[in-house]
A and B are shown apart, each in its own frame.
Chain A
Amino acid sequence: MSPAADYDDRPWLDPDAEPFIKVQSVSKHFGDFTAVDSVDLDIYKGELFCLLGGSGCGKTTLLRMLAGFETPSSGSIIIDGVNMNDVPPYERPVNMMFQSYALFPHMNVESNVGYGLRRDGIAKAEIEQRVEEMLAMVELSQFRKRKPHQLSGGQKQRVALARALIKQPKMLLLDEPLAALDKRLRVQTQYELMNIQDRLGVTFVVVTHDQEEAMTLSTRIAVMDVGRLQQIGTPTEIYEFPGSRLVANFIGNANMFEGRVIENGTDHVIVECKDPTCNFYIDHGLSIPEGSKVWVSLRPEKIRISKQAAAESGTNCIKGMVNDIGYLGGTSTYRVLVGDKHIVEVTSPNLNRPKDGNPPIDWDEEVCLGWDASSSVVLTK
């Protein structure tokens, strides 16, 4: 694969690419409260970018600043080379899909979808044609005359999407687009959203608190907490190489061990933990001095659980006692007591059917936990 083609899917790696949206040290204060704290962000054309964080982390405020409903207290937002600070929402080349969908209750589906075009003074015939195309795309053609209250949740969501996309915005902002749907519909809609985004090539910026949603949807994720950006990266980067304990804990589950670097070689590091007593052998070097305090994060599914110490577990192996088992069908989650009070969570696929109904590993059984030298991540903050 040529390097240029490589950049096509990952424009953020291309040093020559010009970001489509530039958020430059943007802060937003409401009185004494800082909702967004000097955020810098580059989003490239055609990305499906997720702002992920818990409630009150500032993700929605950032989105509203992109839409123009809030003005930054300091810093600037540049979309396609134009500074947006003084541009009102109705003049921005951006459309938004609201969490509540915000469908106009007194207009039918057709009028809702065509509203943006009517405000732009586009000829009636063209509006009709474009509304028809849009409704066909979201498969709502037969509902054109319905009022919003006559639609189901999933249909409303699609009307909102069609209405936001009909003006062919340079960027579509989606505020918790799937939060109001039930679980099954959510998964299905997730893939529909991705297909539509792929087809139209519009840049999507999605706000969500649901990490699973963020992982499946996005090209890149920005994790936010208390108004600050914690980490930006692809879903894999964020999950496999979290930059801090906060990110590691927020995305998926992580077992966290506190320890000290006792050996820092060029190709390996050894971290010594006191509670539980255990040495971590990690197969890459670190640019921190020996003796520094660090945390080792270990994902539950990267740990092997067995009754006997397997030979290949090598240096990374601890003994413990099964405290709890959560049987989920495809996988089981074991909570293993290591040392006096440290609980290590292990997720293990159920590869074989138990012969006589007894689980392969039972409560209160002594087990060995082992993992590869490349499985754990050393965190300094």
Chain B
Amino acid sequence: MNNGKRSYFLITTTCFGIAFLYIPMILLVFYSFNKSRIVPVWGGFSTRWYGVLFESEEVWEAVGLSLKVATVNATFAMLLGTLAGLALVRFGRFRGRTLFSGMISAPLVMPEVITGLSLLLLFITLKEFIGWPDQRGFTTITIAHITFSMAYVAVIIQSRLTGMAQDLEEAAQDLGAKPFRVLTDITLPLLAPGMLAGWLLAFTLSLDDLIIASFVTGPGAVTLPILIYSRIRLGLRPDINALATIIILAVAIGVLLAAWIMFRQQKQRELELKMSEEV
């Protein structure tokens, strides 16, 4: 393979792999520019469905609600997940630690249908007894999302803390920092990248979720996945293709931006390393 000729087998498998991943998306983008109302029939190039989409208030409301839920969810999940991760790694062995750590990761493996159903039951029971939540919608979806995305954040924080040498915290204590000072001066700044990763993950999980949201939502609260799913059930629609294309574009821009930032940081680090070696 080093003689410049590449094996046909490898080229073929690579092409198939890429095709398998991307042909569906390319089709989707392609049909979003279809003039015809009937999706699989090509009626010429047009951007009319984008126009339809932008005029649809329903879609914008769903996008707004999804973003609102995702933001609030990510923020709470990050805070609670970080605290849970800290408790699991840094407070030594307490009674029931193994049980606690098992319970924290249970939502990761629990089928979403079960999580959704149990949360719905909880909200109904709560309404029965304390009269809250009055109506299911934004609040209940957000609470439901926090319960499972928090577990993901806790796992991320846990692994980052385990990799982080404890002697940094001890060094701060040794230099006169009280435990709370150690947390704010050393632990949290060093955890920041992990917390950011956790926030982003929680945000994406929430934007993506259809099953749990449809269990705990109520009248009038329609998130973007719920909207897309309910429209598709009545048959393929070209305006949904347009919506999906916009989402693909947004994700692609996000990924490219992240890659570019990472590339720049890598360059910077290499440069600094060279500098320290030269001195």
Contacts and interface: CB of A to CB of B under 8 A. Distances in A.
Given A150-B272, A150-B275, A89 B186 contact: no
A104 B176 contact: no
Nearest to A163: B175
A123 to B, nearest CB: 16
A90 B173 contact: yes
Interface residues of A, number: 32
Interface stretch (A114-122, A334-342, A353-361): A114-122
A93 to B, nearest CB: 10
B170 A115 contact: no
B176 A90 contact: yes
Contacts of A99: 167
Contacts of B277: 152
B190 A119 contact: no
B190 A96 contact: no
Max chain B Cβ within 10 angstroms of own Cβ: one of A88, A106, A119: A119
A90 B178 contact: yes
Interface residues of B, number: 24
Given A106-B190, A150-B275, A152-B279, A98 B173 contact: no
B22 to A, nearest CB: 39
Contacts of B167: 98-100, 102
B80 interface: no
B177 interface: yes
A89 B175 CA distance: 8
B178 A102 contact: no
A204 to B, nearest CB: 15
Given A90-B177, A119-B181, A167-B176, A102 B279 contact: no
A100 B272 CA distance: 21
Contacts of A119: 175-177, 181
A116 B170 contact: no
A196 interface: no
B169 to A, nearest CB: 9
B177 to A, nearest CB: 5
B41 interface: no
A93 B126 CA distance: 55
B181 A67 contact: no
Contacts of A164: 174
A90 B174 contact: yes
Interface string B132-175: 00000000000000000000000000000000010110111111
A98 B171 contact: yes
Contacts of A104: 168, 171-172, 186
B189 interface: yes
B3 interface: no
A105 interface: yes
B2 interface: no
Contacts of A208: none
Interface in B236-279: 269, 272-273, 275-277, 279
Nearest to B170: A69
A116 B176 contact: yes
Contact of A96 (B174, B185, B186): B174
A91 B178 CA distance: 9
A105 B177 CA distance: 17
A102 B171 contact: yes
B165 A102 contact: yes
B276 to A, nearest CB: 5
Contact of A89 (B173, B189, B190, B272): B173
Nearest to A148: B276
A96 B171 contact: yes
B168 A146 contact: no
B167 to A, nearest CB: 4
Max chain A Cβ within 10 angstroms of own Cβ: one of B167, B173, B176, B186: B176
A130 to B, nearest CB: 14
17 contacts: A67-B174, A68-B174, A69-B170, A88-B173, A94-B174, A96-B170, A96-B174, A98-B170, A116-B176, A119-B177, A119-B181, A146-B276, A149-B273, A150-B272, A152-B279, A164-B174, A167-B176
Given A89-B173, A90-B176, A96-B170, 6 more contacts: A67-B170, A90-B175, A98-B170, A104-B186, A105-B168, A152-B277
* 8 closest A-B pairs by CB: A116-B175, A102-B171, A119-B176, A102-B167, A150-B276, A89-B173, A98-B167, A150-B272
